[in-house]
Amino acid sequence: MNVFVIGIGLIGGSLAKDIREKYNEAVLFGVDNNEAHINEAIEKGIVDKGASFEELKNADIVIVSVPVDVSLTLIPKVLDIISENCLVFDVGSTKEQVCEVIKEHPKRRNFLATHPIAGTEFSGPSAALNNLYRGKTNIICEVEKTAFKLQEKALEIFSNLGMRIRYMDPVSHDKHIAYVSHLSHISSFMLGKTVIDKEKNERDIFDMAGSGFASTVRLAKSSPAMWTPIFEQNKDNVIETLTEYIQNLEHFKTLLEENNFSAIYTEMENTNHIKQILNGIQEVKLH
């Protein structure tokens, strides 16, 4: 089984590591504009060798793990080259535009739009992890537009890697992911910016930063090259979520200004309900 991974970073590299572990017969090829990434991935045993774009004609599976703006032009080119029996799937954080751009492609049925909800704030081949996807949700969009035998091939791989599957239309996916992923990244980036700007004049501020700050600002270490195109593609949904978030922040600020700490207590107590929601999600994943 020839598996080509385009983009050997955290997501693509972690998929390659797990596929190697589960499929002894798999030969893993890396395709990346950054030659250093290819060399590093080979040295770390993530892929067996580098490959050219033209060699995709020999692929059984192609995993596209590149920034979402690049994928819009890259995926149609991949579909132009692959054989009739090859499965192509992407792992991008937005789905509406990519599904739109390939909807009329002659090999549309070779493509599966997926989004594994997994990752860290790190990037590059050195960030790749074994079992990154175990217990994680993988959102699949427009599954009915993929050839059934290729659906089966993909679902077998995802199952062997320990993923849970959810089916969703691309528009709903992008709207929901704006709340649970894209907004949290913006919040982290802007919290980091606020503290960095303040720290210019108050050098002690980072000496006082504890684990709460570190965990909240963790996502601010994420790659701008990956996240700027995500915000661009999902702009309308992100603006909607930001509007609601800013309204909540303004409301909290008003309560402080009015010394209405009983209302603040109630707001926080009501929000504590998220613990039950997240614990319920965790229990589902464990089973």
Give Cβ neighbours of residue 202 (< 8 Å, ≥ 6 apart).
none
Determine how β-strand 137-141 pairs with β-strand 111-116.
antiparallel
Both tokens of 201, joined, read 């004049």
Average pLDDT of the chain, as a whole number: 91
Q: What is the pLDDT of residues 65-95, one digit of tens each?
A: 999 999 999 999 999 999 999 999 999 999 9
282 has a pLDDT exceeding 60:
no
C-alpha to C-alpha distance for 120 and 132, rounded to whole angstroms: 9
Of residues 114, 124, 155, 133, the one with CA closest to residue 18: 133
What is the pLDDT, as a whole number, of residue 178? 96
Instruction: Assign 287 a pLDDT band (cuts: 50, 70, 90).
Output: very low
CATH for the 2-168 domain, from 1.10.3720.10, 2.60.210.10, 3.40.50.720, 1.10.10.10: 3.40.50.720
Give yes or no for a contact between 187 and 248, defined as CB atoms under 8 angstroms apart: no
Question: What is 173-286's CATH number?
Answer: 1.10.3660.10
CA dihedral sign, ordered 213, 216, 222, 225: negative
What are residue 29's DSSP bridge partners? 4, 49
Q: How many CB atoms lie within 10 A of CB 201?
A: 7
Give yes or no for a contact between 98 and 68, defined as CB atoms under 8 angstroms apart: yes
Q: What is the pLDDT of residues 158-167, one digit of tens each?
A: 999 999 999 9
C-alpha to C-alpha distance for 75 and 88, rounded to whole angstroms: 8
What is the pLDDT, as a whole number, of residue 202? 62
Q: What is the pLDDT of residues 144-155, one digit of tens each?
A: 999 999 999 999
Q: Is the pTM of this model over 0.85?
A: yes
* Domain locations along the chain: 2-168, 173-286
Q: What is the pLDDT of residues 123-134, one digit of tens each?
A: 889 999 999 999
What is the pLDDT, as a whole number, of residue 186? 95
